[in-house]
Chain A
Amino acid sequence: MANDDEDRLSALLLKWEESWDLGEEISLDDLCADHPELEQTLADQIKLLKSMNWMKQDAADDDLNDAEETDPLIGETLAGRYRIDSIVGFGGHGKVYKAFDPELQRHVAVKVSKSIASESQSDELLEEARRAAKLKHSNIVAVHDVGRHDGQLFFVTELVEGQNLADLISSGRINPSEATRVVSALADALQFAHEQGFLHRDIKPANILLDHQGRVLITDFGIATTIDKIENHRGGTPGTLPYMSPEQIAGQVQLIDGRTDVHALGVVFYELLTGELPYQGRTPTAVREQILLRQPKSVSSLNSSVPKQLDAVCLKCLVKHPADRYQTAMEVKQALTAPISTSVPKVGLIVVGLALVALTWFAWRSWGQNQVTEFIEFPAPAVRDGVFVFDGASRIVTPLKRFSPATLEAWVKSRHTDTGCYFIVGSDVRTKFGIGFGICGSTLAAETIPTLVRSDAIVEPGKWVHLAAVFGSEETRLYLDGELVETDQPTKQVNPESVFVIGNVGLKNAIDFFKGEMRSVRISAGERYIGRFTPEDTFSPDEQARLIYDGKHLDGTQIEDLSGNGNDGNWESITN
């Protein structure tokens, strides 16, 4: 094969694999549209890549299935009391056995950790588990005893005869009223545990049991964290990836509280209502990015029988920042039990004072209908001293179709200090990656197709800084005040299916709005910056510039393009 063909083949295969990783496989016809002669070779190599996809799973993430192992504990008596009869389940951290307690003449469940804990370590952890054992609630599996066997910790709990929620979900879709009953019961239990000072941190269907009478029970309270401490020598962020919250993924331990369990409750609710996880990807990295960045599809778009109100409750549990979720599990329960209305009065939006709360409402209301513009107002741009003021609910929609290679840059004074991602320039269409840049977790970040590029460079709030992202053909580069702070992979081909938007992530995403001041913005074709540079105080038009806005050149809601290309923008806001 000629070198040209090999390069082309390699590029096409990379393109295919990027889409495959995101669960959006490009068809062979599309892939080979310009090079039909490569079709057979591509098909063969794609087959091989699919067959080797297991290599992309890290050994550390491997979920081992020991189901068929003949178990040495069967027939053993733990702590001179509990006779192990059979295996009833497996968890990431250990096995669950059915055992008999001859003292009280009853069957119990015994969960045994996989890891060996040291004596001093286990004393401390056992104490913690004993405290958790005091949690007595009709929707929490009672812990009867904890102990040690050959260095392994074990937990004796009530034996629940029935099935777990994971089995129920896999057996078919659950109707919305049953899902609501289950989630209400879970919210009740979580509220009680949170009030006692306990977080679960690993709420997922496998940890939720339904007995034969339909009673809903959370298992592993105090156990998930305890075992995780042994396994990973940490106590902050145990969890199971698809159910983890953004703050767990980001390692923001200080943000982990009851609202982290509320997020997991939202994931479980979503799965119950739709049969699907809200965040999906073929690799753990893709799932992490989904959790950190992407809004899930509305529940009602996947299951039309779900009332909008339930859809809203579910999505509010899943909001990225804990401050914008329900603050307590009780609030979730109250929202679920409130009378269902067929429409939400528009006036509700106006009376909500907090912009982000309004955003959440707006988001779920609009995603279901995919009619963002229904709610968009066109007030005059907020400008102070010749500077745009973005209030977290405004953006400028440009007529410029997205493209690459491109250089996006802006002078900004941010107000963001939290873990969310706020876009200064975006270009996305919903559920897909686009190109853009912004501030994620207070650091400069860019979105490429198909991944997020994050730097360690902190964008200091309250200070004017020049931020730039170069989307080159070989790599993506991020600059803070002219200093190169991050280099990463190049974006894949950018389709002009969306326009550039300033102040949030994309035209149809009512999320991730920037808050702060923006003095000027420039979008240029090509790679304007390669090495270190001194940023211009005022962006000048030149051959590369496709669009330049500043806060001084406006006409009503229209923002004048100073590049000379006629790409005037429009100021939009979702609140008045």
Chain B
Amino acid sequence: MELGHTQRLGEWLDLARQGQVDARNEIIAHACERLRLLTRKMLKNYPKVKRWSETDDVLQNAMIRLHRSLAEIQPETPRQFYGLATTQIRRELIDLARHHFGAHGNGANHLTDGGETANQEIDGREPESLDSWSKFHEAVEGLPEEQREVVNLLWYEGISQPDAAKLLGISLATLKRRWQSARITLGKLIEEIQLGE
């Protein structure tokens, strides 16, 4: 069982507070890596977008912003760090979806793959359009705090359920209940979005 991440993060935070630059960089690198992975996931149905050379630049800029914002904060606990980091990650994802590749972005006129993405459902209804992705991230913002915190840890940060339960100080059974409730709520929201389109 991987129990390490939260523990490691706790150690890094301690070291970061003592002024250890490497520890701080480790923490920030983890958040940046998650942003990169989630951006990739979000853009995967947009092959035409990815050919542009500015894709990397836009992501790079988002990562620099995330890096800066995390460098400025002084989280006391892993839980607080994740709360702050995930909020920043989500904001950057919404920004990427809306302004850079979304309906109002540079990519708007290049999205010629609507027919393909319609057939690319992987396990249920992952958002297909960037607009839907943007709404999904916003819907997460609107979840009750307890559920949002669980989605933050499991989906945005990619940490294990036992780690997340420990970090939140709740039992694994409670964590599972919240995770399930959050997905049901988000499922309804996505359904509504799709019905409205």
Whether A and B are associated in the same complex: the answer reads: yes
1/0 per residue, CB under 8 A from A, across B122-143: the answer is 1111100000000000000000
With an 8 A cutoff between CB atoms, is A51 at the interface?
Answer: yes
Given known A-B contacts A64-B40, A475-B172, A475-B173, A51 and B124 have beta carbons under 8 A apart = yes
With an 8 A cutoff between CB atoms, is B146 at the interface?
Answer: no
With an 8 A cutoff between CB atoms, is B99 at the interface?
Answer: no
Residues of B within 8 A of A180 (CB): none
Contact indicator B37/A68 (Cβ below 8 Å): no
Given known A-B contacts A60-B158, A474-B173, A55 and B183 have beta carbons under 8 A apart = yes
Given known A-B contacts A60-B37, A65-B44, A490 and B183 have beta carbons under 8 A apart = no
Contact indicator B172/A70 (Cβ below 8 Å): no
Chain A: interface secondary structure?
A: mixed
Contact indicator B180/A54 (Cβ below 8 Å): no
Contact indicator A59/B41 (Cβ below 8 Å): yes
Contact indicator B125/A59 (Cβ below 8 Å): no
Contact indicator B1/A454 (Cβ below 8 Å): yes
Q: How many interface residues does B have (CB within 8 Å)?
A: 39
Given known A-B contacts A10-B177, A54-B122, A48 and B187 have beta carbons under 8 A apart = yes
Residues of B within 8 A of A67 (CB): 47
Residues of A within 8 A of B40 (CB): 59, 62, 64
Chain B: interface secondary structure?
A: helix
With an 8 A cutoff between CB atoms, is B74 at the interface?
Answer: no
Q: How many interface residues does A have (CB within 8 Å)?
A: 37
Closest to B161 in A: A489
Residues of B within 8 A of A454 (CB): 1
Residues of B within 8 A of A69 (CB): 47-48, 50-51
Contact indicator A65/B120 (Cβ below 8 Å): yes
In the assembled complex, the Cα of A416 lies from the Cα of B172 at a distance in Å of 30
Quote the shortest CB–CB distance from A18 to chain B (angstroms): 9
In the assembled complex, the Cα of A351 lies from the Cα of B83 at a distance in Å of 63
Of the candidates B1, B40, B177, the one having the most CB atoms from chain A within 10 angstroms of its own CB is: B1
Quote the shortest CB–CB distance from B22 to chain A (angstroms): 16
Contact indicator B171/A59 (Cβ below 8 Å): no
Q: Which of B166-197 contact A (CB under 8 A)?
A: 171-173, 176-177, 180-181, 183-184, 186-188, 190-191
1/0 per residue, CB under 8 A from B, across A481-514: the answer is 0000010111000000000000000000000000
Complex partner residue of A59 from B1, B34, B50, B113, CB under 8 angstroms: B34
Q: Top 10 closest A-B pairs, CB basis?
A: A48-B187, A489-B172, A59-B37, A69-B47, A52-B183, A54-B126, A51-B124, A54-B123, A454-B1, A52-B187
Q: Using A55-B155, A474-B171 as known contacts, list a sample of 12 further A-B pairs with CB atoms less than 8 Å apart, ordered by residue number in A.
A: A50-B124, A51-B187, A53-B123, A54-B123, A54-B125, A59-B41, A66-B50, A68-B116, A72-B51, A475-B172, A489-B171, A489-B176
